Amino acid sequence: MLFSFLLNFAIFLRGVFFNEKGKVNMKILRNYAFTICLLSGIILGGIAGVIFGEGTVIVKPIGDIFLNLMFVVIVPLVFFKRFFSYRQYETNGTTW
């Protein structure tokens, strides 16, 4: 069951990232480079956790720093997005 899922997923990815001539679709890679890297890191981290078990505790500080940086970026981003969208309504004369 797992093998057939992985095989179908690999066929799907081949259709997404390669054109009919077998060349890499650079437009997809350019547009989704960060997403691909993020998902690859999550998958590789999960595989490393299964294979190495408790040995992966060594890289835990790197993951903690990454998560803290995400929180530092996301919270102000949401706040300012809401603030400036409210200011836009206010300057256009639209009221709530």
44-89 pLDDT per residue, tens = 888 888 888 888 888 889 889 988 988 899 888 888 888 888 777 7
Q: Is the pTM of this model over 0.75?
A: no
Q: What is the identity of the amino acid at 78?
A: V
Q: What is the DSSP letter of 93?
A: T
Q: Which amino acid is at 25?
A: N
pLDDT at 65: 93
Q: Where are the domains of the chain?
A: 1-52, 56-95
Mean model confidence pLDDT for the chain: 79
Tens of pLDDT, residues 17-33: 776 777 776 776 778 78
Closest C-alpha among 39, 17, 11, 40 to residue 29: 17
Site of tokens 């989704």: 32
8 vs 66, more confident: 66
